[in-house]
Amino acid sequence: KLDYRFCGFILLCGLPGVILGADIVLKIPEGWTIFSLGCLTSGLGLYSFKKRTLGLEVCSKNRDRRGLIIGGITLLIIGALNGSLTSGTGLFVTLWLVRWFGLDYKTAVTYVLILVGLFWNSAGAITISLQQAPRWEWLPALLIGATAGSYLGAHLAITQGNKLVKRAFETLTILVGIKLIYDGAQILIGA
């Protein structure tokens, strides 16, 4: 039940940011990118947790010219984060689609799995692979994990609804954020 025009809008706004971010990521110290991503990711989970009803109902909004311009610029910025921080920014897109455009979590996650997971991440991977040799040995594990996780998540979203998706989103973002903060701090301390 995807709106193909909205899909095109998300791709048109986000892909240039992804390519720009992926082009500059190798110039940023790894410890700072991991630490920053951890702080941002945990913040998303805490924000969603504090907003008890956020994303439980669909309430389409900000689809006028002004709303689309602000939404598009923010997707461009998130795309740049996706290209430069490389991991976890689908969470930013999910929360932005819920908060700004009024999607429920289940619908937002569907958009993110397809558009960010497939198109944005592919554009970023291609851009980075032009600058540095890919780690091909990681590919099978990444594909298996992404496919199994996407299937399980979609199944649970359909059978259990938005409340479970919201709680899973919040829990995972906070836990992953804490782990990234820890890892980034370890790299910075060791540097």
Q: Tell me which residue has tokens 């720009």.
A: 20
* pLDDT recorded at residue 191: 64
* pLDDT recorded at residue 86: 60
* Maximum Cα–Cα distance across the chain: 49
pTM of the model: 0.80
The segments of the chain whose pLDDT lies below 50 read none
Distance of alpha carbon 86 from alpha carbon 107, whole angstroms: 23
* pLDDT recorded at residue 59: 87
* pLDDT recorded at residue 65: 96
* pLDDT recorded at residue 83: 79
* pLDDT recorded at residue 87: 62
Distance of alpha carbon 72 from alpha carbon 100, whole angstroms: 11
